[in-house]
């Protein structure tokens, strides 16, 4: 059989006749045209890839020395705890460096990914045709959270143990199947050796495999539709005679070099933390995690690592007295969005669906059936819904926390602004973004702190910190749920035909 003609000769040519080496290189690097007006916000995608590699490499080396074992050794220390704090940190040559790289890498991953997501938010990078890029990205975010959670149990310190205890118990809040489900996840009636070993399996192989697949899908989807840019202008709309975008430049060498600048800057900061402050004042490695896991005693102050704290705050804010406010807020949001939808049938359908789900969850059908005397049917509906309905704040806390993470998936459809980039939105939209970021940061801050950290409000006997986190929870959810309304309001600025770019 005749071999295909290739432009390359020699070894590359030999390979290219058997494997699409050159076409892959061209498609994704040398002839992938990216907009020429990227700014520093575009560092964070490549930095996320760098941190992923750091985590994979350091992780492989840590596995060589780590033992997932909850039983006590001769020194009365749990095997897993000793293998990290005793063996890797003190006895393995340079083991402490590898471990600190891995733990700092976890925090760095979230810093980089949060900034990467915020970039997408500012420039509308999730808007059509990039919905799938965004959705794969959200799935990567979920995987990262799972990876961080499973990994955090492995050192088997007090925070590891009680953090896992809390998160696994979240599942027990699911009505009917919850308690059995949490036993099934733990593999025991308490967090124990079985839990540690399965979390190890998830952390080192299952989730990383999924993560790598999703990263590939994220990049493939991106390269299919092309990168967005700070102006939110489609560069593929204006092409030269050769069909190349006028405002596009090849990713390699232009952006490989550009990203290298980001890499150097990042490595400065990353190394500084790894070498001089791997615990980062207790935020990257918590002090209580230097105490071996004790199933009989919860540390007096328990908080997740900083990157989970905004969501942890939302969980804590959901008390039974907050639920009526939440329902009221949902009702107002639904009416507001419905009224602003005008002739947009898709939005109206979505609102109707949202309201239907709320009604079901609140047990309204059950109550109605009971009122018209169909007790048997009502029992069936209420049986499920009574557990849902208002009473069980724990369940709603879990649901709300899940919704706050998953709501990112809806962004491509929630945002109805006529322009993509924040640059061409009304100026007050920046204030809305600012309020959202502030709410997120305040929730994050309060999640680190003990309950009641700000004392009580004067006159009304309410916990200040709790009330503030409840307010911030509504602001956080309102940013998304009301987006179909506010995102299209105001006077938008004209979007240029071509990207704005000043040559250096």
Partner 1 sequence: MSDNQPADSSRRFWLKATCVAGGVAGVATAVPFVSTFQPSERAKAAGAPVEVDIGDIRPGEKKVAEWRGKPVWILRRTPEMLASLKVTEAQVLDPNSEEHYALATPDYARNDIRARKDHQEYLVVVGICSHLGCSPSDKLAAGAQPSLPDDWSGGFLCPCHGSTFDLAGRVYQNKPANRNLDVPPYMFLTDTRIIIGKDEKGEA
Give the residues lining the site for partner 1 (CB under 8 A). Answer: 162, 165-170, 172, 179, 183-190, 192, 194, 198, 295-302, 315-316, 318-321, 391-394, 397, 450-453, 456, 461, 463, 466
Could you give the CA distance from residue 425 to residue 411 in angstroms, rounded to a whole number? 17
CB of 279 to partner 1, least distance (A): 20
How many Cα atoms occupy the beta-carbon half-sphere of 357 within 13 Å?
Answer: 9
Tokens at 22, concatenated:
């050159």
Q: Residues for the chain: how many in total?
A: 504
CB of 457 to partner 1, least distance (A): 12
Could you give the CA distance from residue 266 to residue 54 in angstroms, rounded to a whole number? 12
DSSP state string for 234-271: -GGGSB-TTS-BTTEEEIIIIIHHHHHHHHHHHHHHHH
CB of 362 to partner 1, least distance (A): 17
Q: Which residues contact 458 (CB under 8 A, 6 or more apart)?
A: none
Q: Which residues contact 169 (CB under 8 A, 6 or more apart)?
A: 182
Could you give the CA distance from residue 495 to residue 141 in angstroms, rounded to a whole number? 31
CB of 384 to partner 1, least distance (A): 15
Among 400, 387, 391, CA closest to 316: 400
3-state secondary structure of 203: helix
CB of 348 to partner 1, least distance (A): 36
Tokens at 192, concatenated:
């124990």
CB of 440 to partner 1, least distance (A): 20
Q: What is the sign of the dihedral through the CA atoms of 285, 291, 295 and 296? A: negative
Contact 77, 229 (CB under 8 A): no
Of residues 143 and 400, the one with the C-beta less far from partner 1: 400
CB of 458 to partner 1, least distance (A): 13
Among 74, 58, 75, 54, CA closest to 66: 58
Task: Report how far apart the first and last C-alpha atoms of the chain are (Å, whole number).
Answer: 52
Backbone φ and ψ for 491, nearest 5 degrees, come out as -100, 115
Q: What is the sign of the dihedral through the CA atoms of 250, 251, 256 and 258? A: positive
Distances 75 to 115, 218, 422 between C-alpha atoms, Å: 44, 47, 59
Could you give the CA distance from residue 123 to residue 482 in angstroms, rounded to a whole number? 19
Q: Which helix (H) or strand (E) holds 167?
A: helix 158-170
Q: What is the sign of the dihedral through the CA atoms of 233, 238, 244 and 250? A: negative
How many Cα atoms occupy the beta-carbon half-sphere of 500 within 13 Å?
Answer: 9
Of residues 185 and 351, the one with the C-beta less far from partner 1: 185
Q: Where are the alpha helices (DSSP H) in 35-94?
A: 43-63, 79-81
CB of 377 to partner 1, least distance (A): 23
Could you give the CA distance from residue 363 to residue 387 in angstroms, rounded to a whole number? 9
CB of 437 to partner 1, least distance (A): 25
Of residues 52 and 382, the one with the C-beta less far from partner 1: 382
CB of 455 to partner 1, least distance (A): 9
CB of 176 to partner 1, least distance (A): 12
Of residues 368 and 450, the one with the C-beta less far from partner 1: 450
CB of 450 to partner 1, least distance (A): 6
């Amino acid at each position: 059989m005749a071999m295909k003609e290739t432009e390359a000769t020699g070894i590359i040519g030999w390979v290219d006749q058997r494997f699409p080496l050159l076409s892959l290189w061209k498609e994704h690097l040398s002839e992938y045209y990216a907009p020429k007006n990227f700014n520093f916000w575009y560092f964070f995608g490549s930095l996320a890839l760098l941190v992923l590699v750091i985590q994979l490499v350091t992780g492989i080396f840590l596995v060589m020395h780590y033992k997932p074992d909850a039983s006590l050794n001769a020194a009365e220390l749990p095997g897993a705890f000793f293998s990290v704090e005793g063996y890797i940190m003190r006895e393995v040559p340079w083991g402490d460096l590898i471990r600190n790289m891995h733990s700092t890498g976890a925090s760095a991953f979230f810093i980089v990914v949060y900034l990467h997501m915020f970039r997408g938010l500012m420039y509308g990078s999730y808007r059509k045709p990039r919905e799938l890029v965004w959705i794969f990205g959200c799935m990567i975010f979920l995987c990262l959270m799972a990876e961080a959670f499973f990994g955090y149990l492995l050192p088997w310190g007090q925070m590891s143990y009680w953090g896992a205890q809390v998160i696994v118990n979240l599942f027990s809040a699911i009505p009917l199947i919850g308690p059995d489900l949490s036993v099934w996840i733990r593999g025991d009636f308490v967090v124990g050796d079985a839990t540690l070993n399965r979390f190890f399996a998830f952390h080192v192989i299952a989730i990383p495999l999924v993560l790598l697949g999703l990263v590939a899908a994220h990049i493939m989807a991106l390269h299919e539709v092309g990168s967005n840019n700070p102006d939110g202008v489609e560069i593929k709309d204006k092409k030269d005679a050769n069909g190349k975008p006028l405002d596009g430049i090849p990713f390699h060498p232009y952006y490989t070099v550009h990203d290298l600048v980001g890499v150097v800057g990042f490595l400065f900061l990353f190394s500084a933390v790894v070498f001089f402050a791997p615990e980062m004042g207790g935020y990257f490695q918590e002090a209580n995690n230097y105490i071996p896991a004790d199933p009989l005693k919860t540390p007096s102050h328990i908080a997740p690592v900083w990157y989970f704290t905004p969501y942890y705050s939302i969980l804590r804010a959901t008390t039974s007295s907050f639920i009526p406010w939440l329902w009221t807020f949902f009702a107002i949001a639904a009416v507001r969005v419905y009224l602003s939808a005008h002739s947009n049938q898709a939005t109206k359908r979505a609102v109707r669906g949202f309201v239907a789900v709320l009604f079901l969850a609140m047990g309204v059908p059950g109550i109605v059936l009971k009122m018209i005397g169909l007790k048997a049917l009502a029992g069936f509906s209420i049986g499920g819904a009574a557990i849902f309905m208002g009473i069980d704040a724990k369940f709603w806390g879990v649901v709300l926390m899940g919704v706050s993470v998953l709501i990112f998936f809806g962004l491509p459809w929630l945002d109805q602004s006529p322009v993509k980039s924040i640059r061409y939105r009304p100026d007050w939209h920046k204030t809305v973004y600012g309020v959202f970021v502030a709410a997120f940061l305040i929730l994050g801050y309060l999640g680190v702190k003990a309950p009641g950290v700000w004392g009580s409000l004067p006159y009304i006997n309410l916990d200040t910190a709790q009330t503030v986190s409840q307010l911030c929870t509504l602001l956080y959810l309102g940013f998304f749920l009301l987006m179909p309304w506010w995102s299209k309001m105001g006077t938008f600025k004209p979007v240029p035909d071509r990207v704005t770019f000043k040559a250096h």
